Amino acid sequence: MQNACVDVLETLAPCLTTGGLDPGIAQFISILIGVALVALFPLVLVILLIWLERKIAARVQDRLGPNRVGPFGLFQNLADAVKLIIKEDITPAGADRLIFNLAPIIAVVSTTLIWAAIPFSPIHIGADLGIGLLYIVGVSSIGTLSVMMAGWASNNKYALLGSFRVVAQLVSYEIPLVLALLVPVLMTGSMGMQDIVRAQQGMWFIIPGLVSAVIFYISNLAETGRAPFDMIEAESELVAGYNIEYSGMKFGLFMANEFMHAFTANLLFSVIFLGGWAGPLSTQIPFLGFIWLMVKTFIVYIPSLILRATIPRVRIDQMMAFNWKFLVPVAIVNVIVVAFLLQIVKAIGWMPDPGNTDFLAHVPEAIILLAGNVALIAGVVTMLRNSGRRERLAEAAPAANDEHAIVAVH
């Protein structure tokens, strides 16, 4: 096994054993390094993400953004991080000390744990669980808990009000999110993350699963508390939201978690709907798969930043109505339609083998599913137009009467 050390990135454990190390310890060291890398990568990436977000928001608002510290202001966030760390760490007198301190940690942990099940390349994944997708949903639902703990432990009414709103939002938007995730699972026939990516080597799921991709993207914006759903930090309404009493690095953890979570959500989108590491040569050179994944993620992440800088915040009741009266029903119908069409495709015999990487083999299946999606969109749009027209007519009728009444008084 002399050539085991040629590509250390792929075969660290066999490489260590050539030096005469016990295989068990070698395995342990390689897993430990992997865990450290996977856990530290998002934490370091967040510094870059905040810089990117500030730059893009500045451009949208016709400003320059950070440009003083380092080239292009790249080190601005390092300076900010140092500032956050050396700031006084205040715990309010009436706070529940343990829960107050635990909340930011749980928030960051719940996001970092998601990274454990994300396939970065054909061979690099923290843990290729058979239930990877469900694991991701389950772990991210713990994040809701941290918001609740923070809001309650702060002993501040604004924090508590903020956390109520946030929890209502997070719990509600989890439903369309999970329903949208059912579609890729149906198409793959597995919940394993690697299986999902491998099934997309021929055709990315965004084409046969267009509606669920859109639903997933929207509910992800809400789950991560990004505009237009950033109720989480509606400054003008809630002073600051659930994290109002936090200062110093504990606040920094919440903020970093927000950016990390937003990026993770887009990473998931590119893994589940844009083929993850699948791309030219990615099976031969695994590291290239990682690059493809990052490129795809930034392609969906940057529009979400521009969205955040341009769209105003929606009202909380509008947001809940949009979720329960629009997204959830559409998501349910979508799952039924896709499941039905998939059975038809299977019955005709056009269903390609899951491991088939040939693009053309997936075309008939994709066309049928896409047609189903387009029909669903057309139906939804027609229904929306009709109900909108009825509403306008109903509004116009009394309004006309009122005008007559005013004229009559004059």
Partner 1 sequence: MLELNVQTIAFLIFAICSLGGALGVVTSRNLIHGALFLIVSLFGGAGFFVLLSAPFIAVVQVLVYIGAIAILIIFAVMLTRSMTGMRELFNRQWWLSAIVGVLLFLLLTIAVIMPVWGVNGSKSNQPVSDQVATTQDLGMALVDGNQYVLPFEVASLLLTGAMIGAIVIARDTED
Residues that bind partner 1 (CB under 8 A): 96, 99, 129-131, 134-135, 137-139, 141-142, 144-145, 148-149, 152, 160, 164, 167, 171, 174, 190-191
Nearer to partner 1, 129 or 380 (CB): 129
DSSP secondary structure, 258-292, as one string: HHHHHHHHHHHHHHHTS-TT-STTTTTSHHHHHHH
Nearer to partner 1, 69 or 167 (CB): 167
- Burial classification of residue 301, based on how many CB atoms lie within 10 Å of its CB (0-12 exposed, 13-18 middle, 19 or more buried): buried
Q: How far apart are CA 220 and CA 239, in angstroms?
A: 24
Please state the closest distance from residue 223 (CB atom) to partner 1, in A: 12
Nearer to partner 1, 81 or 131 (CB): 131
Please state the closest distance from residue 102 (CB atom) to partner 1, in A: 9
On whether the CB atoms of residues 219 and 176 are closer than 8 A, the answer is yes
Please state the closest distance from residue 53 (CB atom) to partner 1, in A: 28
Nearer to partner 1, 188 or 304 (CB): 188
Please state the closest distance from residue 131 (CB atom) to partner 1, in A: 5
Nearer to partner 1, 129 or 368 (CB): 129
Please state the closest distance from residue 386 (CB atom) to partner 1, in A: 21
Nearer to partner 1, 66 or 176 (CB): 176
- The one-letter amino acid at 362: H
Nearer to partner 1, 238 or 293 (CB): 238
**Could you tell me the CA-to-CA distances from 212 to 251, 339, 406 in Å, in that order?**
34, 12, 49
What angle, 0 to 180 degrees and rounded to 10, lies between the N-to-C axes of helices 132-140 and 157-188? 170
Please state the closest distance from residue 404 (CB atom) to partner 1, in A: 28
Please state the closest distance from residue 155 (CB atom) to partner 1, in A: 11
Number of Cβ within a 10 Å radius of residue 258? 22
Nearer to partner 1, 135 or 263 (CB): 135
**Could you tell me the CA-to-CA distances from 166 to 146, 277, 305, 316, 345 in Å, in that order?**
11, 33, 20, 10, 41
Please state the closest distance from residue 151 (CB atom) to partner 1, in A: 8
- Cα torsion 403, 408, 409, 410: sign: positive
On whether the CB atoms of residues 15 and 5 are closer than 8 A, the answer is yes
On whether the CB atoms of residues 219 and 173 are closer than 8 A, the answer is yes
Q: How far apart are CA 291 and CA 106, in angstroms?
A: 29
